[in-house]
Structure 1
Amino acid sequence: MNTGSVQTLIVLREEEHAWLQDLFRSRHPMMVTLCNKPFIEYLIDFAILSGSEALRIASDSPITDLENYCGNGSRWGITIDYAHILPEDDRERLLEKNRQFCSRGKTMLIEKTLFVAYDKKNDYRLWLRACPEGVAVSGTSGSITILGNKQENSIPGPIPEPSLPMLLTIGEYYRLADDTLKNADRYILPGYSSEPDCFLGRNVVIQKGAEIRKPVMIGNNVQISAGSIIGPGAIIGSNVIIDRESVVSGSILMDNTFIGEQLEVKGRIADGSLLIDPESGATLQMEDPHLMSAIQPGASTKQIIRRIIHALAALALLIVLALPFLILRPLLGLRRNWHTKKRLFPPGATAKKLTIEQVVIRPEGAYGRLAIALSIDRYPSLFKVLGGKLRLIGHRPAVSSDTSTISSGCIAMNPAVFGYAETEEWPENERDELMVDHYHLLHSGSLNDIGLLLKALLNKKHM
């Protein structure tokens, strides 16, 4: 036996964390995030702090998403592999199946445990050296057992010890997340922190007029609209949209969640369209997608396909409308009924500033009405769809305002030639249009976009 090496064996049994699986069905319990970091990463961190060079995850159920996330452990500088066990395997059988792995040296066996409370400033290698063989830490939420370790009595000074917080209900999860946020200096947490109690991920857009109150944690690809108040005690996951004038405090927004405008979320956990009261455990499925809904995580392949479909449809329109455009454009110019206005999409609406030119034609005379009916005013913008700067259908800002900048309420919108709002008859103002745009932004796909485009072309409301 190589007594100098240390490894960690994490045992996962499907039935042990059923309460968490029942709430967050789309992910493995170990992939549920605590302060925007999956539970499995906290265990990996602790293994590394304890001096482990290798880590094995043994599970009695499929863990494909876990394997895809952790890989071989190279990004943490530790070797990770995987093993399968049966639900009926007891401790003796478990160790027999992993005998070769455990025989390398000292082994830290973690069972029934989602989270280990540690302090990154401590050297847990000293703790491991001081622990005798047997159960080192135990509680209702799991245990840590040391195998093949000879206790060393000559270690000077106090020995830091980890702990296993009780974690068997959604209320305990909520309180643990709050405690972790308040004691963020103990852990290795994601995000950039330029000041205490404030963690920001990548590509976070906070529009002018929004207020951030510490402590707060915000994940990647988050858009917060004007007038919103975030915090204190807010944990915002990744790929989240918070519409204007909404309030999120003392709450957790899981990944891929949309919060509609003027919605107040206090002391709750929101996961897509599911709203959870952590104290009572009561859940509410929100039926109105304009208030709260799940955002389908974007896939690069789907985005490429969508862009190609939009470009092909735009090319078809360019060909079909070429002759009407060549005839009507000069006639409208002679009658001074062809005007252009530039509109600037701020960084809150696109990844970077984008200036687009929109044509305004008054519905005056036969030529004006015909041009609008044929969407000739949109013809010049179709070329930008081919260049990938505009979508064919998405969010089309109003041109009635004299301002040259798009409203700050237009968050997360895809600037487009035709607007989703043009497919409906009922929107009466910009707020109504934004509601329609938000809905289709979250729920529309490539094929749906083509159907909505046809509906926008046939709908004369935009005349």
Structure 2
Amino acid sequence: MQAIIFANRTGDELAPLNSHYCPALLPIGNKAVIEYTLEDIVKSGISQIKLIVSSQAKEIEQYLGRGEKWGLEIDYFLSKPQEETGLILKRLSLVDDENYLLVRGDIFRSPSISQFIDFSMDFSDDFVQAKMANQNAGMMLLPAALPYIADIDWPFSPHFDSTSVVTLVLHGRCFMLDNFRSYMDANLSLATNELPSLSPTDRSYLSANPQQDFYVGAKAHTGPLNRQDGWGIIGENSRIEDNVQLKECIVIGSNCLIDKESILENSLILPNTYVGEKLEVRNSILCKNLLINLQISGVIQINDQALIGANESLAKPGDNKTGSITKGLLFIILILSLPLWPFLSLYSSIRNAFIKQAEHSTISDTFIDNLGLTFQAWRWNIPGAIIARLPQLYHVLTGRLDLFGDSPEARYATGKELRRLGVLGPVQLLLDRTAPEEERQLLEIEFDADPRATKYLHLLWRAFEYKHKF
């Protein structure tokens, strides 16, 4: 049996937190959501995984690799964000008479997959719908579930069939992670040992509360936890300075710094976050410069590093990524190509005079440079995307654009606001202006997920072979 895991949610319900994490990679107890699903699948005896990913494909593949850590074989398949399950399954070319486990990997549930599979095999001709805490548990078994596969689409439908199918009520808790409260409750429930057969794996330390413990990761500096009234989870490489007060349930991610005399109460601090000196944080989620207050359901972006911020060095969008050697070669190419420009302009004018669809002999592209400024850059309206874009190389030499980078319209995906923009890329070279937005998105996702170090050379070779229609 193989498992098909769906991790293609956009996470718009959690905005702006989804600018830092896609739902499948949200940390719960310092472990990504999807890891809990993988561990549960391993316990069921399944070793082959088809993982459905979308706009965050690159981040998920970098995090999970090929599954060696869990003894799994993971194959990645690209989809549109939150695409219908039926359309995805058609592209997978599944064997009709084989069993497949379908499971969402971007929600958080108590371990239950083995129980679900065993029960479903006893009712092999019936669709078994899995419920947990009176919610859709996000799993089903093919081929019996084929008429009901829409039930696993995200977002879940509120309707649940109670008459024509077999219902299995699973013991445990299920968190949809579709709002901040659900995400917070998942973390606090794990830290408080409220989830059956699921506990933090870090080393435990006594707190001042006799009923609860702290679970502390490697190389964390915490001070004497047995004097703290709170309890919870503290990630590896985190540091809690002197006179910090921890109250009620606290979850602190890895690589965090909690500065002296601050107070944390019933809060979640996500990885790589700095909490400033004497700051009081209650009933909140902190993620770098985001403060999400659960009492008032408000989100504040704080730009004062002395209060909260990223405890890491981030690449700045304005930093130039095109090296001086590359710029020198581009300058030579640009100079050598100048005598050809009149002929290219003449060819473009003559060619487009005989093509009814063509509007002009040149095309003006709208760019947003790497400083966030909008400008126009022209190219010839001729076949051969690389030659047509020769005039735009000037903007690489000035540092406004990179040689290779995203197209301006590629900013549809979570986490791309810090990505570099460039003259050459898969969308720029392999698609024309009339290509549907969905096709552009899938091409960007496919290129991001390509692990080859030579993928830019392959892109240039494909561009030479590709026949454009302008």
- Normalized against structure 2, the TM-score is what? 0.54
Establish whether residue 106 from structure 1 lines up as the match of residue 99 from structure 2: yes
Per-residue deviation, 1:232: 2.3
Establish whether residue 173 from structure 1 lines up as the match of residue 165 from structure 2: no
Establish whether residue 18 from structure 1 lines up as the match of residue 18 from structure 2: no
Distance 2:72 2:228 in 1: 37
Distance 1:117 1:210 in 2: 29
Secondary structure of the residue aligned to 2:69 is helix
Alignment counterpart, residue 78 of structure 1, candidates 69, 72, 77:
72
Secondary structure of the residue aligned to 2:138 is strand
Q: Which amino acid aligns with 1:264?
A: E
Return 33-42 or 289-298, whichever deviates more. Answer: 289-298
Secondary structure of the residue aligned to 2:233 is strand
Secondary structure of the residue aligned to 2:19 is coil
Per-residue deviation, 1:243: 1.2
Establish whether residue 61 from structure 1 lines up as the match of residue 55 from structure 2: yes
Alignment counterpart, residue 144 of structure 1, candidates 135, 139, 152:
139
CA RMSD of aligned residues (A): 3.2
Alignment counterpart, residue 28 of structure 1, candidates 18, 22, 31:
22
Secondary structure of the residue aligned to 1:269 is strand
Establish whether residue 229 from structure 1 lines up as the match of residue 239 from structure 2: no
The equivalent residue for 1:164 is 174
The equivalent residue for 1:46 is 40
Change (3 A) 1:99 1:250: same
Q: Which amino acid aligns with 1:288?
A: D
Matches within 5 A, 1:193-342: 193=204, 197-207=213-223, 211-296=227-312
Alignment counterpart, residue 186 of structure 1, candidates 175, 197, 203:
197
Per-residue deviation, 1:184: 5.5
Deviations 1:218-258 (A, max 9, x none): 00111111111123200000111111111112000001111
Deviations 1:192-227 (A, max 9, x none): 225663210011112369943343100011111111
Report if aligned partners of 2:34, 2:106 keep a CA contact under 8 Å in 1: no
Deviations 1:361-416 (A, max 9, x none): xxxxxxxxxxxxxxxxxxxxxxxxxxxxxxxxxxxxxxxxxxxxxxxxxxxxxxxx
Change (3 A) 1:220 1:87: closer
Per-residue deviation, 1:181: 1.8
Secondary structure of the residue aligned to 1:283 is strand
Q: How many residues align?
A: 284
Change (3 A) 1:106 1:222: same
Identity of aligned residues (%): 22
Distance 2:213 2:224 in 1: 21
Q: Which amino acid aligns with 1:255?
A: P
Per-residue deviation, 1:38: 0.8
Distance 1:240 1:214 in 2: 18
- Normalized against structure 1, the TM-score is what? 0.54
Deviations 1:107-156 (A, max 9, x none): 11124852222369x85553453454435226776631111369xxxxxx
RCO higher in 1 or 2 (8 Å CA, sep ≥ 6)?
2
Distance 2:121 2:170 in 1: 11
Report if aligned partners of 2:9, 2:22 keep a CA contact under 8 Å in 1: no
Change (3 A) 1:116 1:91: same
Change (3 A) 1:8 1:163: farther
Secondary structure of the residue aligned to 1:280 is coil
Secondary structure of the residue aligned to 1:206 is coil
Report if aligned partners of 1:12, 1:59 keep a CA contact under 8 Å in 2: yes
Report if aligned partners of 1:234, 1:252 keep a CA contact under 8 Å in 2: yes
Alignment counterpart, residue 8 of structure 1, candidates 3, 24, 27:
3
Secondary structure of the residue aligned to 2:248 is coil
Distance 1:89 1:286 in 2: 34
Report if aligned partners of 2:217, 2:234 keep a CA contact under 8 Å in 1: yes
Unaligned runs of 5+ in 2: 146-167, 207-211, 316-470
Radius of gyration: which is bigger? 1
Report if aligned partners of 2:57, 2:78 keep a CA contact under 8 Å in 1: no
Q: Which amino acid aligns with 1:110?
A: V
Alignment counterpart, residue 118 of structure 2, candidates 116, 119, 126:
126
Q: Which amino acid aligns with 2:103?
A: I
